[in-house]
Chains A and B, each alone.
Chain A
Amino acid sequence: MTTIDFLNVTKAFGDLVAVHPVTAHVPDAAWWVIVGANGSGKTTLLQMTSGLQSPSTGTVCVGAAEAGTPDARLEVSYLSDSPAFYSDLSVAEHIDYLAGLFEDDAVADRAHDIMRAFHLHTRVDDLPDTFSRGMKQKTAIALALARPSTVLLLDEPTRGLDAEGAETMVSLLRARHDHGTTVMTVTHEPERFAVPNAMQLRVHEGVFEHPKPMNGD
């Protein structure tokens, strides 16, 4: 059971207020889609949820723990909008490394399964730096979804993906969501994420509107 709570959260960069006060409650196993123009504060909110950025005021809680603390990190998996890979490790070695750090072979099994779903299982011995943008994104998704988590924070997950890849990604997300994982995603393609009970959070120049239900199928 992992909820996310924003309590009067703001973020300012010098004189620029990137996120105006936000107070919201994301229930357990929710599916939230954040939409808005470039530079409107979507990624900033997501990074504050992950703990990668600290709020200027207010607090973000993941479950009972404040965002960024070890307990919160245990619950969260974050997909950056610009995935980073180790330049000297192959995909398979990335997977081994991740599984080793989590001391859980199931992480590796999941990652390989996702790579297979993306039809990239034959490329796991290659260096990610040699991949195209879309292949890198698929690899990053595999690593993000493979690690144990109850909250998925995804920053433009369909970026660079082909149509089939995007469909596969959404179906993988839905599978995780069906098992109780909370999903928060930033996207410019909200229609792809219109699942039943999905909520849309619209933001304009740092001001977040109240979440509204999306029309899922």
Chain B
Amino acid sequence: MKQGSHTTLHTARSVRIRSALVSAEIALSMALVTTACLMARSFLALTAVDPGFRPDHVLTFSVNLPGASYRDADRQRQFYGRAIDAVAALPGVQFAGLVSALPFSAAGGAGRALVSVEGEAPWGVEDAERHRVESLYASGNYFNALGIAVIDGRTFEPSEMTQQARVVIINQSMARRFFGRSSPLSRRLKTGLAESPSPWLTVVGVVRDSKRTALDDQVSPTFFRPYQASTGLRSAGFAIRSITDPESLTGAIRKALAALDREVAISDSQSMERRVSGSMASQRLRSIASALLALLAVAIVLAGLYGLLSYIVSQRITEFGLRIALGAQPADIFAMVLRQGLTLAFAGTVAGVALSIAASRFLGGLLFSIGATDPLTLFGAASGMFAITAAACAVPASKAHTDRPDARSQTGVGITNRRRIT
């Protein structure tokens, strides 16, 4: 009797410890599941972002001109002009465009400039941020090639593709910042201070905002000038819109450029779709990794909860037999065990929600378009977690009233019982 009492105490303590551990497991898993859900939703939101151009059927590559033979800016301009013409003449090519820095490319970023708008007060140190924009040099067909829509005005005309060109195309962000709701067409701006002798540039077009480095980036106010106006462009990016598979054009383009100058090689050739997809690689990896971790954690929780409840059921099988013998219904036994499991699941889930919220501050920088404490995600993850753990409880709970020893043989009470209740 004494020994039995000691064993019962020992078992009760053991069950309490295991229960606490299982609840902690559920809490941790809940945090991981929440993270995985947030990452997945963030990634899905990212894939739905409109880059502001049409990446399909676009081949992109970079050209780096050898320094020895292309030190002179005139030679650079001449080569680029001939290269654009040569590529545009290839079968399957719809538009061939050039830009000083390709979007979604590590080859080089856009230039920066402080600009002045005609009629505006000169900027100073205090309001420099408003005047800080990105600058790019491009050919007239660059916008057609990449599929950047012209919102207002036009792109560069062939006659404007000169070193003396005094025209500029701006994106929507720049139009909004400097001109508000009024039309920026025919307005003038310049790089540097208004009183500087640098030439005023007339706005001839407004193009749609387009992402430059990543889908989750903010679009900066940007202006484009004809590439011939650059004082030096040793490397440039090409965007080729094709009517066929864009990557199938690479060989022909290499040949066409080699025919112009064998020393000039193209690099980083890939479709724009591949570039855009590649820009999401880290988010995709994080999403998959967190999902795998969450799955693993849930599996461990299920095993732990199932194991614990099975252990509890095995320890109490005699008691259940007695209860049945004394008139308890199998459903009562099922409910009793299930309640015990669900109590653990509920406690773990609540703790998991708290843990998820506490851990959210580490996630903020990794998410796009969703808050780290997004209520819908938290509710969904908690509901899912609770449902899964409830299912894990149901199996041992059902065993509690189906697998039990014969009550009479265990207790000596003269009540017959079926071995297995169905």
- Do they bind each other? no
Which residues of B does A touch, CB under 8 Å? none
